[in-house]
Amino acid sequence: MKQIVGVVGLGLIGGSIAKAYKAAGWKVLAYDSNLSITSYAIISGTVDAELTANSLKQCDVIHIAITPKAAIEYLQLNVAHFPKDGLVIDDCGTKSGITSIGFKLAKEYSFTYVGGHPMAGNHLSGFKNSKSTMFNNASMIIVPPEFDDINLYDKIKQALKPMGFKKVVFTTADDHDRMIAYTSQLPHVVSNAFIKSPSAQEHKGYSAGSFRDLTRVAWLNENMWTELFLENKDNLLKEINLLIDNLKEYVKALNDENNEYLCNLLRDGRIAKELSEK
Protein backbone atom coordinates (compact mmCIF):
# COMPACT_ATOMS: atom_id res chain seq x y z
CA MET A 1 0.00 0.00 0.00
CA LYS A 2 1.28 3.45 -0.93
CA GLN A 3 2.14 5.83 1.86
CA ILE A 4 0.06 8.99 1.87
CA VAL A 5 1.21 12.58 2.38
CA GLY A 6 -1.11 15.50 2.97
CA VAL A 7 0.11 18.95 1.88
CA VAL A 8 -1.56 22.15 3.01
CA GLY A 9 -0.62 25.05 0.76
CA LEU A 10 0.60 24.67 -2.83
CA GLY A 11 2.93 27.63 -3.16
CA LEU A 12 6.63 27.32 -3.95
CA ILE A 13 7.42 25.23 -0.86
CA GLY A 14 4.18 23.26 -0.59
CA GLY A 15 4.17 22.57 -4.32
CA SER A 16 7.76 21.34 -4.15
CA ILE A 17 6.89 19.11 -1.18
CA ALA A 18 3.98 17.62 -3.11
CA LYS A 19 6.15 17.02 -6.19
CA ALA A 20 8.97 15.46 -4.14
CA TYR A 21 6.66 12.95 -2.46
CA LYS A 22 4.92 12.19 -5.74
CA ALA A 23 8.28 11.49 -7.40
CA ALA A 24 9.09 9.14 -4.51
CA GLY A 25 5.96 7.09 -5.20
CA TRP A 26 3.71 8.40 -2.44
CA LYS A 27 0.02 9.18 -2.83
CA VAL A 28 -0.39 12.95 -2.53
CA LEU A 29 -3.44 14.71 -1.11
CA ALA A 30 -3.33 18.51 -1.05
CA TYR A 31 -5.30 21.61 -0.18
CA ASP A 32 -4.83 25.22 -1.18
CA SER A 33 -7.11 28.15 -0.33
CA ASN A 34 -7.09 28.91 -4.06
CA LEU A 35 -9.17 26.04 -5.40
CA SER A 36 -7.99 26.63 -8.97
CA ILE A 37 -4.42 25.82 -7.87
CA THR A 38 -5.58 22.60 -6.23
CA SER A 39 -7.48 21.67 -9.39
CA TYR A 40 -4.46 22.41 -11.58
CA ALA A 41 -2.19 20.35 -9.33
CA ILE A 42 -4.60 17.41 -9.66
CA ILE A 43 -4.95 17.78 -13.44
CA SER A 44 -1.17 18.03 -13.86
CA GLY A 45 -0.70 14.76 -11.97
CA THR A 46 1.19 16.11 -8.96
CA VAL A 47 -1.75 15.65 -6.60
CA ASP A 48 -4.00 12.60 -6.51
CA ALA A 49 -6.96 14.20 -4.74
CA GLU A 50 -7.97 17.14 -2.59
CA LEU A 51 -7.05 16.99 1.09
CA THR A 52 -10.17 17.28 3.24
CA ALA A 53 -10.98 17.00 6.92
CA ASN A 54 -12.03 13.40 6.35
CA SER A 55 -8.96 12.40 4.36
CA LEU A 56 -6.54 13.90 6.89
CA LYS A 57 -6.90 10.73 8.94
CA GLN A 58 -5.55 8.66 6.03
CA CYS A 59 -2.23 10.50 5.95
CA ASP A 60 1.05 9.11 7.21
CA VAL A 61 2.61 12.60 7.06
CA ILE A 62 0.98 16.03 6.90
CA HIS A 63 2.96 19.11 5.83
CA ILE A 64 1.47 22.53 6.59
CA ALA A 65 3.29 24.86 4.20
CA ILE A 66 1.56 28.21 4.70
CA THR A 67 2.24 31.35 6.73
CA PRO A 68 2.40 31.05 10.55
CA LYS A 69 -0.96 32.72 11.24
CA ALA A 70 -2.71 30.62 8.61
CA ALA A 71 -0.97 27.47 9.87
CA ILE A 72 -2.11 28.12 13.44
CA GLU A 73 -5.66 28.59 12.21
CA TYR A 74 -5.46 25.36 10.19
CA LEU A 75 -4.16 23.43 13.20
CA GLN A 76 -6.94 24.72 15.41
CA LEU A 77 -9.69 24.03 12.87
CA ASN A 78 -8.54 20.51 11.98
CA VAL A 79 -7.00 19.27 15.20
CA ALA A 80 -9.66 16.62 15.76
CA HIS A 81 -8.98 15.07 12.33
CA PHE A 82 -5.23 14.50 12.54
CA PRO A 83 -4.15 10.82 12.54
CA LYS A 84 -3.06 9.48 15.93
CA ASP A 85 -0.17 7.49 14.44
CA GLY A 86 0.85 9.98 11.74
CA LEU A 87 3.19 12.96 11.81
CA VAL A 88 2.16 16.60 11.44
CA ILE A 89 4.89 19.06 10.40
CA ASP A 90 4.53 22.77 9.88
CA ASP A 91 6.99 24.27 7.37
CA CYS A 92 6.71 27.90 8.47
CA GLY A 93 9.56 30.41 8.50
CA THR A 94 9.26 31.21 12.23
CA LYS A 95 8.83 28.70 15.00
CA SER A 96 8.20 30.16 18.47
CA GLY A 97 4.58 31.18 17.96
CA ILE A 98 3.31 28.18 16.07
CA THR A 99 5.17 25.48 18.01
CA SER A 100 3.88 26.72 21.35
CA ILE A 101 0.34 26.22 20.07
CA GLY A 102 1.12 23.08 18.07
CA PHE A 103 2.70 21.25 21.03
CA LYS A 104 -0.23 22.15 23.25
CA LEU A 105 -2.81 20.89 20.74
CA ALA A 106 -0.81 17.72 20.03
CA LYS A 107 -0.71 16.86 23.71
CA GLU A 108 -4.41 17.59 24.18
CA TYR A 109 -5.55 15.61 21.11
CA SER A 110 -2.88 12.87 21.16
CA PHE A 111 -1.18 13.30 17.80
CA THR A 112 2.49 13.86 16.90
CA TYR A 113 3.48 17.36 15.83
CA VAL A 114 6.87 18.95 15.18
CA GLY A 115 7.90 22.32 13.87
CA GLY A 116 9.86 22.34 10.63
CA HIS A 117 11.61 24.77 8.29
CA PRO A 118 13.14 23.57 5.00
CA MET A 119 16.26 25.58 4.19
CA ALA A 120 15.52 25.87 0.48
CA GLY A 121 13.71 28.13 -1.94
CA ASN A 122 14.34 30.96 -4.37
CA HIS A 123 13.06 34.43 -5.21
CA LEU A 124 10.18 33.06 -7.28
CA SER A 125 6.83 32.02 -5.86
CA GLY A 126 3.81 29.90 -6.61
CA PHE A 127 3.09 26.33 -7.62
CA LYS A 128 4.27 26.96 -11.19
CA ASN A 129 7.81 27.52 -9.91
CA SER A 130 7.88 24.54 -7.54
CA LYS A 131 9.98 21.47 -8.34
CA SER A 132 10.54 18.01 -6.95
CA THR A 133 14.28 18.61 -6.50
CA MET A 134 13.91 21.84 -4.48
CA PHE A 135 15.19 20.26 -1.25
CA ASN A 136 17.94 18.04 -2.63
CA ASN A 137 21.09 18.42 -0.49
CA ALA A 138 19.47 21.17 1.61
CA SER A 139 18.94 20.99 5.37
CA MET A 140 15.70 20.72 7.29
CA ILE A 141 15.36 22.34 10.70
CA ILE A 142 13.12 20.45 13.11
CA VAL A 143 11.79 21.69 16.45
CA PRO A 144 10.63 18.59 18.37
CA PRO A 145 8.51 18.59 21.55
CA GLU A 146 11.37 16.86 23.38
CA PHE A 147 14.99 15.98 22.68
CA ASP A 148 15.39 12.49 24.11
CA ASP A 149 12.91 10.53 21.96
CA ILE A 150 15.07 8.47 19.59
CA ASN A 151 12.03 6.79 18.05
CA LEU A 152 10.54 10.17 17.16
CA TYR A 153 13.83 11.28 15.58
CA ASP A 154 13.86 8.18 13.41
CA LYS A 155 10.19 8.63 12.47
CA ILE A 156 10.88 12.21 11.38
CA LYS A 157 13.92 11.27 9.30
CA GLN A 158 12.02 8.45 7.57
CA ALA A 159 9.07 10.76 6.85
CA LEU A 160 11.37 13.37 5.28
CA LYS A 161 13.32 10.98 3.03
CA PRO A 162 11.30 11.74 -0.13
CA MET A 163 12.35 15.40 0.10
CA GLY A 164 16.04 14.55 -0.33
CA PHE A 165 17.52 16.57 2.51
CA LYS A 166 21.24 16.27 3.14
CA LYS A 167 20.88 17.05 6.82
CA VAL A 168 18.18 17.26 9.49
CA VAL A 169 18.97 19.73 12.28
CA PHE A 170 17.15 19.46 15.62
CA THR A 171 16.90 22.65 17.66
CA THR A 172 14.64 24.76 19.86
CA ALA A 173 12.12 27.30 18.58
CA ASP A 174 14.02 30.18 20.21
CA ASP A 175 17.37 29.16 18.69
CA HIS A 176 15.74 28.70 15.29
CA ASP A 177 14.21 32.17 15.31
CA ARG A 178 17.41 33.78 16.56
CA MET A 179 19.50 32.24 13.79
CA ILE A 180 16.92 32.73 11.04
CA ALA A 181 16.80 36.44 11.84
CA TYR A 182 20.44 36.58 10.74
CA THR A 183 20.74 33.95 8.01
CA SER A 184 17.45 34.58 6.20
CA GLN A 185 15.47 37.60 7.35
CA LEU A 186 18.31 40.16 7.56
CA PRO A 187 19.53 39.38 4.00
CA HIS A 188 16.01 40.01 2.71
CA VAL A 189 15.87 43.37 4.50
CA VAL A 190 19.33 44.38 3.24
CA SER A 191 18.58 43.32 -0.33
CA ASN A 192 15.22 45.08 -0.30
CA ALA A 193 16.76 48.30 1.03
CA PHE A 194 19.83 48.15 -1.23
CA ILE A 195 17.81 47.97 -4.44
CA LYS A 196 16.02 51.25 -3.58
CA SER A 197 19.05 53.35 -4.56
CA PRO A 198 18.36 55.41 -7.72
CA SER A 199 21.55 53.86 -9.10
CA ALA A 200 19.78 50.50 -9.28
CA GLN A 201 17.79 51.73 -12.27
CA GLU A 202 21.02 52.49 -14.12
CA HIS A 203 23.01 49.36 -13.27
CA LYS A 204 22.91 47.62 -16.64
CA GLY A 205 26.37 47.36 -18.08
CA TYR A 206 27.90 48.24 -14.72
CA SER A 207 26.96 45.20 -12.64
CA ALA A 208 28.26 41.65 -12.29
CA GLY A 209 27.86 38.81 -9.83
CA SER A 210 27.98 40.87 -6.64
CA PHE A 211 25.00 43.00 -7.70
CA ARG A 212 23.03 39.96 -8.80
CA ASP A 213 23.74 38.06 -5.58
CA LEU A 214 22.92 40.97 -3.31
CA THR A 215 19.66 41.88 -5.01
CA ARG A 216 18.27 38.39 -5.69
CA VAL A 217 16.03 38.21 -2.62
CA ALA A 218 14.73 41.77 -2.99
CA TRP A 219 12.23 40.06 -5.30
CA LEU A 220 10.00 38.71 -2.54
CA ASN A 221 6.43 38.10 -1.43
CA GLU A 222 5.88 41.23 0.65
CA ASN A 223 2.78 39.91 2.41
CA MET A 224 4.49 36.74 3.62
CA TRP A 225 7.72 38.43 4.67
CA THR A 226 5.86 41.21 6.52
CA GLU A 227 4.24 38.55 8.68
CA LEU A 228 7.52 36.69 9.24
CA PHE A 229 9.44 39.86 10.12
CA LEU A 230 6.82 40.98 12.66
CA GLU A 231 6.64 37.47 14.16
CA ASN A 232 10.37 37.64 14.80
CA LYS A 233 10.84 41.38 15.25
CA ASP A 234 12.98 41.31 18.41
CA ASN A 235 15.60 39.02 16.86
CA LEU A 236 15.50 40.85 13.53
CA LEU A 237 15.82 44.30 15.10
CA LYS A 238 18.88 43.13 17.02
CA GLU A 239 20.54 42.03 13.77
CA ILE A 240 19.55 45.19 11.87
CA ASN A 241 20.90 47.44 14.61
CA LEU A 242 24.15 45.48 14.76
CA LEU A 243 24.53 45.85 10.99
CA ILE A 244 23.89 49.60 11.22
CA ASP A 245 26.57 49.90 13.90
CA ASN A 246 29.04 48.01 11.71
CA LEU A 247 28.23 50.16 8.67
CA LYS A 248 28.88 53.29 10.73
CA GLU A 249 32.44 52.07 11.23
CA TYR A 250 32.96 52.03 7.45
CA VAL A 251 31.40 55.49 7.18
CA LYS A 252 33.81 56.81 9.83
CA ALA A 253 36.84 55.26 8.13
CA LEU A 254 35.86 56.81 4.79
CA ASN A 255 35.04 60.23 6.23
CA ASP A 256 38.35 60.29 8.08
CA GLU A 257 40.20 58.92 5.02
CA ASN A 258 41.77 56.48 7.46
CA ASN A 259 43.51 53.99 5.21
CA GLU A 260 44.69 51.71 8.00
CA TYR A 261 41.33 51.61 9.80
CA LEU A 262 39.42 50.88 6.58
CA CYS A 263 41.89 48.16 5.62
CA ASN A 264 41.49 46.58 9.05
CA LEU A 265 37.70 46.60 8.75
CA LEU A 266 37.90 44.87 5.37
CA ARG A 267 40.44 42.36 6.68
CA ASP A 268 38.24 41.54 9.68
CA GLY A 269 35.29 40.93 7.35
CA ARG A 270 37.35 38.63 5.15
CA ILE A 271 38.54 36.64 8.18
CA ALA A 272 34.98 36.41 9.53
CA LYS A 273 33.86 34.95 6.19
CA GLU A 274 36.70 32.43 6.22
CA LEU A 275 35.82 31.33 9.75
CA SER A 276 32.12 30.96 8.82
CA GLU A 277 33.06 28.49 6.08
CA LYS A 278 34.99 26.13 8.39
Lowest mean pLDDT among 56-60, 122-126, 270-274: 122-126
DSSP 31-89: E-SSHHHHHHHHHTTS-SEE--TTGGGG-SEEEE-S-HHHHHHHHHHHGGGS-TTSEEE
Q: Are residues 123 and 183 in the same domain?
A: no
pLDDT (0 to 100) of residue 190: 98
Q: Are residues 122 and 194 in the same domain?
A: no
Indicate if the pLDDT at residue 1 is higher than 90.
Answer: no
pLDDT (0 to 100) of residue 176: 98
Which whole number is the average pLDDT over 106-112?
Answer: 96
Q: Are residues 44 and 181 in the same domain?
A: no
Give the C-alpha separation, 273 to 197, whole Å. 26
Q: Are residues 36 and 154 in the same domain?
A: yes
Q: Are residues 141 and 189 in the same domain?
A: no
Write the pLDDT tens digit of every residue in 76-104.
Answer: 999 999 999 999 999 999 999 999 999 99
Q: Are residues 214 and 156 in the same domain?
A: no
Q: Are residues 109 and 163 in the same domain?
A: yes
Q: Are residues 38 and 139 in the same domain?
A: yes
Q: Which of 104, 136, 171 is the last residue before a domain boundary?
A: 171
Q: Which of 146, 171, 196 is the last residue before a domain boundary?
A: 171
Per-residue confidence band for 204, with pLDDT thresholds at 50, 70 and 90: confident
Which whole number is the average pLDDT over 160-185?
Answer: 97
Write the pLDDT tens digit of every residue in 63-80.
Answer: 999 999 999 999 999 999
Which whole number is the average pLDDT over 223-239?
Answer: 97
Range of the domain at 270: 176-276
pLDDT (0 to 100) of residue 103: 98
Q: Which of 171, 187, 214 is the last residue before a domain boundary?
A: 171
Q: Are residues 74 and 31 in the same domain?
A: yes
Q: Are residues 24 and 135 in the same domain?
A: yes
pLDDT (0 to 100) of residue 130: 96
Which whole number is the average pLDDT over 194-223?
Answer: 91
Q: To the nearest whole number, what is the mean pLDDT of the chain? A: 96
Q: Are residues 153 and 210 in the same domain?
A: no
Q: Are residues 24 and 108 in the same domain?
A: yes
Contact 94, 180 (CB under 8 A): yes
pLDDT (0 to 100) of residue 207: 83
Residue 74 CB neighbours (<10 A): 18
Which whole number is the average pLDDT over 131-143?
Answer: 97
Number of domains in the chain: 2
